[in-house]
Structure 1
């Protein structure tokens, strides 16, 4: 499974996004069953994309994330390329479509 970096502050999130060319940020909530179901599938999918780094945020722990990144639900999946948001998925994720989008983005930035 894809390695996961726990991000516990808004500063850690910003540093993670800046430190990695391809940074995938997964925002979840402790009380969200959908969040718990999606994370293992996401980690498995991202195994195909070694250049993408994965960071995880518990939304309750980093309250500022909602206003900074306009997050209104959980889970939210955000892909940043060179610090800019290029992909956003939320709540019910279609993994087949997500995989295609990731492949297209990775080809675009190769």
Structure 2
């Protein structure tokens, strides 16, 4: 499974968001859905080695909720150069997430 960068501060989050293409997964410690979904997201991310991949545990970095307007978990966000391109929360469909990443990587290669 693909490793991720633990994000615990505004500076680390800003760095991740400003990459050419990045995925940020947000979860909480007591969320069983979050823990079940993370390995599936990691597996998808193996196919995209050029895409930065970060994980935020909202219990450890509580400011993220206000900064990114997070109201529920799990959340997967895709950023490109500081802009949010995709937000999917609560019921995340892996196939749709993969399709979105496919489209975005093709667009960025142009």
Shared fold, TM over 0.5: yes
Partner of 2:49: 50
* Deviation digits for residues 14-50 of structure 1 (CA, Å, limit 9, x no counterpart): 12222x2111111100000000001000000011111
- Tell me the distance in 1 between the aligned counterparts of 2:3 and 2:30: 23
Q: Give secondary structure in 1 for the equivalent of 2:102.
A: helix
Partner of 2:7: 7
| Match runs of 1:1-110 below 5 Å | 1-18=1-18, 20-110=19-109
Provide runs of 4+ in structure 1 moved above 3 Å.
none
Instruction: Point out where structure 2 has 5 or more consecutive residues left out of the alignment.
Output: none
- Tell me the distance in 1 between the aligned counterparts of 2:6 and 2:68: 17
Q: Give secondary structure in 1 for the equivalent of 2:40.
A: helix
> In angstroms, what is the RMSD of aligned CA positions?
1.1
- Tell me the distance in 2 between the aligned counterparts of 1:27 and 1:14: 15
How high is the TM-score relative to the length of structure 2?
0.93
How high is the TM-score relative to the length of structure 1?
0.93
Instruction: Point out where structure 1 has 5 or more consecutive residues left out of the alignment.
Output: none
- Tell me the distance in 1 between the aligned counterparts of 2:62 and 2:75: 14
Number of positions where the alignment pairs a residue of Structure 1 with one of Structure 2:
109
Q: CA deviation at 1:89?
A: 0.8
